[in-house]
């Protein structure tokens, strides 16, 4: 059986084109950003939490172009509400990646 980090090493996140195609084929997917993000990236994100520094690998698991695209789909629901002044997710990722992993998984 593969270890958590071996699974992460083999992980290939969906590309921006794949994510856009899913949105076109299933408009319902846009109703809940956090559920969608967890569905697409949840397993690798959980794996990241087992590591000492999830921010080191976060961009590999959730590419910033994908997150920026997703953020554009839900401009209100992707704002942090934990004292970050409503910083959009695709900007917050650059500064608070480990906190955002925790935000979406808790």
Q: List pLDDT tens digits, range 1-19.
A: 555 555 556 666 667 787 7
* Helices 64-73 & 89-105 angle (0-180, nearest 10): 90
pLDDT score at 75: 46
- pTM of the model as a whole: 0.39
For residue 95, pLDDT beyond 60 = no
Decide which of 32 and 41 is more confident: 41
pLDDT by residue (tens digit) across 21-31? 766 766 665 55
């Amino acid at each position: 059986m593969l270890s958590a980090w071996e699974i992460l090493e083999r992980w290939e996140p969906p590309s921006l084109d794949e994510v856009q195609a899913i949105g076109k084929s299933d408009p319902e997917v846009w109703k809940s950003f956090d559920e969608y993000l967890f569905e697409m990236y949840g397993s690798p994100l959980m794996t990241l939490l087992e590591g000492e520094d999830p921010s080191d690998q976060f961009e590999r698991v959730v590419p910033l172009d994908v997150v920026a695209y997703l953020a554009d789909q839900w401009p209100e629901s992707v704002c942090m509400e934990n004292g970050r002044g409503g910083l959009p997710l695709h900007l917050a990722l650059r500064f608070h990646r480990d906190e955002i992993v925790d935000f979406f998984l808790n």
